[in-house]
Amino acid sequence: MREVVGDIWDFYSMGAWIAFGTNGTLKPNGEVVMGAGVALHAKTKFPVLPKELGAMIGSGGNHVWPVHHLRILSFPVKHNFWNMADPDLLLQSCKELLDWIPKLGIDEVYMVRPGVGNGRLPWDIVKPLISRILDDRVVIVSWP
């Protein structure tokens, strides 16, 4: 895992795939809840995203899912939007993310610190957990 300082959307605009923290909560209309952080930014930029991710989560569960036409991957950090991030789910998502990278034929994925912020876990707890799994194909972006 590598760490850089910047804006995740700058990397996206340069053609990178990005991943961001998601949850498994679906609204009655089938959309996944995307109410904070990078997920909220993505929902604003791509209004179809909550419905598309909701369909994948509804049929396949709370897992890492690619949205090919947007170069976006979900990265589950919570089971329900109101919970704190779940360390076990973070570890599962790290493994799934690494599995997706070769399947997508990409070299790297950029993401902000998972489970931190709205996930309410401190980075000094999350970093040692995920750094045991994530390799240099995953770039963690910290806001300046």
Predicted structure pTM score: 0.96
Domain 2-142 classification at class level = alpha beta
| Exposure class string for 77-112: b at 16+ Cβ within 10 A, else e | bbeebeeebbeebbebbbebbbebbeeeeeeebbbb
Label residues 121-143 b or e (16+ Cβ within 10 Å = b): beeeebbebbeebbeeebbbbee
Give pLDDT, residue 143.
Answer: 87
Give me the percent of the chain exceeding a pLDDT of 90.
99
- pLDDT tens-place string over residues 86-141: 999 999 999 999 999 999 999 999 999 999 999 999 999 999 999 999 999 999 99
- Asked if residue 90 lies in contact with residue 120, where contact means CB atoms within 8 angstroms, the answer is no
Return the pLDDT at 142: 96
Average pLDDT over all residues of the chain: 97
Q: CB neighbours of 28 closer than 8 A, spacing ≥ 6?
A: none
How confident is the model over 18-47, as pLDDT tens digits?
999 999 999 999 999 999 999 999 999 999
Cα–Cα distance between 65 and 100 in angstroms, integer? 8
Rounded alpha-carbon distances, angstroms, from residue 105 to 44, 71, 94, 102, 108: 27, 12, 17, 5, 9
For the chain, give every domain's residue range: 2-142
Residue 66, pLDDT above cutoff 90: yes
